[in-house]
Amino acid sequence: MTDTAPVATVERLAQFAGQTVTLRGWIYHKSSKGKLHFVQLRDGTGTVQCVVFKKNVPEELFEAIGASGQESSLSLVGEVVADERAPGGYEIQVRSGEVLQAAEEYPISPKEHGADFLLSRRHLWLRSRRQWAIMRIRDAVVTALRGFFAERDFLCIDSPMFTPNACEGTSTLFEVDYFDRHAFLTQSGQLYAEASAMAFGKVYCFGPTFRAEKSKTRRHLTEFWMLEPEVAFADLNDVMQLAEDMMVYTVGQVLERRRTELEVLERDVSKLEAIQGPFPRITYDEAAKILVEHPESEFKPGDDFGAPDETILSESYDRPLMITHYPVGVKAFYMKRDPEQPDKALCVDVLGTEGVGELIGGSQREDDLDLLLERIQEHDLPKEAFEWYLDLRRYGSVPHGGFGLGLERMVGWIAGVEHVRECIPYPRTIYRIEP
Ligand code: 4AD
Ligand code: MG
């Protein structure tokens, strides 16, 4: 019987209703009452209650399950029975099976643990229900994003991780030995994405990016994933519309595909259902005015917005807020200046709802060779290292733009998870590189 029952997964149990199947997984929780064990079996795709009646199974199996602790691995064969009271709607009436390895004293018990304890055991913590839900939402976000761009004929062209120069300022660069010279880990794939856009039109890159962030906040990682579309013949408005459409689509896909996970996280889905276009759009100057008049803000005109400022600004909206036209002094060298007000950049930051702050940063790029050279000088950047980038303005320069979406911040926002360290499988932060 063990050999013939088809292998099922918890998320696909409905397809096997009434049949006998093999399920393989780990004991998430177990309770025993005399002649009965209730095993919450976790198989990675979900958990299901397996009922092990002493009279229904071989004696050794009943004893072995009785002696197995949390996270013991096992293979069980049983009938898939519909049960309204069961979460997910099914339970398993076990007939046979085997314990593959009996675990003892699993360190993460269902009781509360501190963040540091859990982060040190991230390799095991990933098995818990909350982390399961977050990682599955992350997966759905990635799938949605890739699908969104594929549907719109964007080409995925990835940028390198080792780079000879800085993209987002020199203060957060990780320097590494590169044979007989130095290199940096990339802060953003953008500059290469611009080259790719001139070769392929509409592109995106999606990969890990690195920042030596000294800040220890709930939204900074030293290694995070960024998705960066870059579009030839696009202006700031095109870039903003693309970001809006992408966000609406992605939230919609998570609502469609990850209901159970959102429930596990007790996410208020009405907040997600409200994410529809058009998003409100205001300028930096308008935002500055709101902050200056706000009693709790320490903002000074001309400064960049701090995290508390972003929270104040986004609080009055139930949709993401797009803020444009920041002063050039607080933004990167590659941003195009607004011809109508040259002290402002043609840029946009997108702030999530519920006070989560910046999720996306983007802009139209400086496409004029001489102006770009000026910017490189003003920012004290080594011209030689940017010669290849300047070529893009020498050979068929066109208006273009794009943005970067921080994946972990997007996942945290959608999942309602406060800290980005729970939104990446193995977080790297200023104090942590293990496990
Ligand atoms: O605003 P940033 O720095 O923009 C860029 O890097 C541009 N080159 C992107 C582009 O136009 N192609 O970063 C983009 C996004 C932020 O909005 C934020 O979501 C995320 O990346 N981000 C971080 N996420 C986690 N930890 C950090 N340390 C982050 N720094 C930025
Ligand atoms: Mg930014």
**DSSP of 78-100:** EEEEE-TTSTTSEEEEEEEEEEE
Q: Which residues pair with 41 in a beta bridge?
A: 27, 48
pLDDT on residue 272: 98
Ligand nearest 401 Cα, by number? 1
Instruction: For 33-68, write each residue's pLDDT tens digit.
Output: 999 999 999 999 999 999 999 999 999 999 999 999
Instruction: For 227-238, write each residue's pLDDT tens digit.
Output: 999 999 999 999
pLDDT on residue 169: 81
Q: For ligand 1, atom 27, name the residue with the nearest CA.
A: 220
pLDDT on residue 136: 98
Whether residue 1 is predicted with pLDDT greater than 70 in this model: the reply is: no
Written as six digits, the tokens of 56 are 């229904």
How far CA 382 is from CA of 245, 373, 376, in Å, comes to 37, 10, 7
Q: Which residues pair with 358 in a beta bridge?
A: 351
Q: Which of 409, 421, 432 to mutate to test the pocket of ligand 1 (most atoms within 8 A of CB)?
A: 409
pLDDT on residue 411: 98
Q: Is 167 in the pocket of ligand 1 (CB under 6 A)?
A: yes
Gap between the Cα atoms of 39 and 46, Å rounded: 13
Q: For ligand 1, atom 23, name the residue with the nearest CA.
A: 406
Q: Is 359 in the pocket of ligand 1 (CB under 6 A)?
A: yes
Q: How confident is the model at residue 135 (pLDDT cuts 50, 70, 90)?
A: very high
Instruction: For 304-319, write each residue's pLDDT tens digit.
Output: 999 999 999 999 899 9
Written as six digits, the tokens of 337 are 């200046």
Gap between the Cα atoms of 279 and 52, Å rounded: 53
Please identify every residue whose CB atom is under 5 Å from ligand 2, which is an ion. 361
Helix (H, G, I), strand (E, B) or coil at 36: strand
Q: Is 210 in the pocket of ligand 1 (CB under 6 A)?
A: no
Gap between the Cα atoms of 221 and 215, Å rounded: 9
Whether residue 168 is predicted with pLDDT greater than 90 in this model: the reply is: no
Whether residue 330 is predicted with pLDDT greater than 70 in this model: the reply is: yes
Residue (of 47, 197, 50) closest to 129 by Cα position: 47
Gap between the Cα atoms of 206 and 15, Å rounded: 35
Instruction: For 203-212, write each residue's pLDDT tens digit.
Output: 999 999 999 9
Q: What's the 82 CA to ligand 2 centre distance in angstroms?
A: 50
Q: Which of 188, 422, 423 to mutate to test the pocket of ligand 1 (most atoms within 8 A of CB)?
A: 188
Q: How many helices (H) and strands (E) does the chain have?
A: 13, 18
Q: Which helix (H) or strand (E) holds 129?
A: helix 129-151
Q: How confident is the model at residue 4 (pLDDT cuts 50, 70, 90)?
A: confident
Gap between the Cα atoms of 325 and 345, Å rounded: 5
Task: Look up residue 85 and give its amino acid.
Answer: R
Q: Which residues pair with 386 in a beta bridge?
A: none
Whether residue 247 is predicted with pLDDT greater than 70 in this model: the reply is: yes
**DSSP of 344-408:** EESEEEEEETTTTEEEEEEEEBP--HHHHHHHHHHTT--GGGGHHHHHHHHSS---EEEEEEEHH
The residues, ordered by sequence, that sit 6+ positions from 249 with a Cβ below 8 Å of its Cβ are 144, 148
> Considering only 100-114, 116-130, 224-238, 365-379, which range has the smallest mean pLDDT?
100-114
How far CA 29 is from CA of 54, 209, 315, 377, in Å, comes to 18, 38, 40, 62
User: Dihedrals φ, ψ of 32, to 5°?
Assistant: -125, 140
CA dihedral sign of residues 259, 265, 271, 272: negative
Q: Compute the average pLDDT of residues 237-245.
A: 98
- Give the whole-number percent of the chain exceeding pLDDT 90: 93
Q: What's the 128 CA to ligand 2 centre distance in angstroms?
A: 32
Ligand nearest 222 Cα, by number? 1
Q: How confident is the model at residue 3 (pLDDT cuts 50, 70, 90)?
A: low
